[in-house]
Amino acid sequence: TEGMNVQDIAKLIHREPAEIIKKLFMMGVMVNQNQSLDKDTIELLAVDYGIKPEEKVEEDISDLDKYFEKEAANTSYQENRSPVVTIMGHVDHGKTTLLDKLRHTSVTEGEAGGITQAIGAYQVHTNNRSITFLDTPGHAAFTDMRARGADVTDIIVLVVAADDGVMPQTVEAINHAKAAKAPIIVAVNKVDKPNANPNHVMEQLTQYGLIPEDWGGDTIFVQISAKFGKNLDELLEMILLEADVLELKANPKQKGAGTVIEARLDKGKGAVASLLVQQGTLRTGDPIVVGNTFGRVRVMTNDRGRRIKAAKPSMPVEITGLNDVPESADKFIVFDDEKTARAAGEERAQQAVLKQRQQTKHVTLDNLFETM
């Protein structure tokens, strides 16, 4: 069988071929880029790069999802956490207006500059409690996240304009919410308009099983005007009430874990990722594996662009310090030490590359050696 050459290996472990050639040269092995390497040489390299070929990197580490579930199931200690809310609804029914208004009313004078920061999520503080709003650009992002097993939303606020009623995307949002098993709070918006007919909206929604409490159902309806800020306090109160029913809890005492909301490459900062912490506490300096990449949390900022040192469950943060740009809906986990994080990150990156190249499921460095 054909072995791997320097270039293949360089790609696999995210190194320059020249670096590998130099390293091998130092070990007394002379090779060129396209020369295939024997098993012993590859093992030498693996050891040098901290990849243990004979004893597999723990399964828990290579399978982030499994690790995540295990950590999440650790119920030894639990604290209440803030609800994570997504706002959905038909085009022009007022989602952005509502998000903006909520954000502005929550931001105090001195902080006003911070709100330009767009990290894909932010927290609104009310009565000493917080609510995390995911600023997803429409249903597509929500569906993408769900498709990738990232059900990060606890509650959906369905915005329906009282002058327009139930429209196709309203129905779509209801279906998304049902599939995600997330409770819906209906915000009947634009009640300030002269032609607003909130009762008609309520009647229409009964067809979809959303029946107001006054009518014997169990769906919370709030009549609001996002534009004029009417009844927004009540909406926040209802979200917190629903959160109480859901008994949302997490253990902030374990290692941080959560989901990538979005990520990008910044010219100055390098890879920047917006993360939602879902379990544990994320701290600056933490060695971390994020999707198929890894690193150390260098700078962490909150939704106001302020530097912070620690983030607890339900907090959205932005971090730098990753080796590569992860994808939204990727999971992240804090590791004990940088070496293990690197090994796990590299193994995941390598698995992703191999998966793509060979369409084989679950190829590890181990069975790669076996096939050689």
List the binding residues.
89-96, 135-139, 189-192
Report, in Å, the least distance between residue 100 CB and Mg ion.
9
Query: Considering only residues 209-248, where is the footprint of ligand GTP by CB under 6 A?
Result: 225-227
- Helix axes of 168-179 and 139-147: crossing angle, nearest 10 degrees: 20
- Asked if 189 touches ligand GTP (CB under 6 A), the answer is yes
Three-state secondary-structure class, residue 42: helix
Among 6, 57, 95, 301, binds ligand GTP (CB under 6 A): 95
Round to whole Å and give the CA distance between 349 and 343.
10
Torsional sign, CA 146, 150, 155, 158? negative
Query: Would you count residue 340 as binding Mg ion (CB under 5 A)?
Result: no
Give the x/- contact pattern for Mg ion in 94-133, rule: CB under 5 A. -xx-------------------------------------
| Closer Cβ to ligand GTP, 199 or 367, answer by number | 199
| Mask for 80-99, x = binds Mg ion (CB under 5 A) | ---------------xx---
Q: Which residues are annotated as a binding site for GTP?
A: 89-96, 135-139, 189-192
Residues in contact with ligand GTP, counted by CB under 6 A, come to a total of 15
C-beta closer to ligand GTP: residue 93 or 331:
93
Structural contact between residues 363 and 307, judged by C-beta atoms closer than 8 angstroms: no
Amino acid identity, position 295: G
Tell which one of 42, 67, 93, 341 touches ligand GTP (CB under 6 A): 93
Nearest by Cα to 294 from 51, 9, 44, 41: 51
Q: Give exposure, 298-324, as e/b (b: 16+ Cβ within 10 Å).
A: eebbbbbeeebeebbbbbbbbbbbbbb
Cα–Cα distance measured from residue 274 to residue 332, given in angstroms and rounded to the nearest whole number: 11
Stretch that binds ligand GTP, among 6-14, 184-192, 264-272, 285-293 (CB under 6 A): 184-192
Stretch that binds ligand GTP, among 24-32, 84-92, 273-281, 283-291 (CB under 6 A): 84-92
Query: Which of residues 97 and 292 has its CB atom nearest to ligand GTP in the complex?
Result: 97
Closest distance between ligand GTP and the C-beta of residue 161, in Å? 7
DSSP state of 109: G
CA 175 to chain centre: 22
Q: In whole angstroms, what is the distance from residue 24 CA to residue 45 CA?
A: 8
- 92 vs 336, which CB is nearer to ligand GTP? 92
In whole angstroms, give the CA distance from residue 217 to residue 202.
11
Task: Return the H-helix or E-strand segment holding 274.
Answer: strand 270-279
Per CB under 5 A, residues contacting Mg ion are 95-96
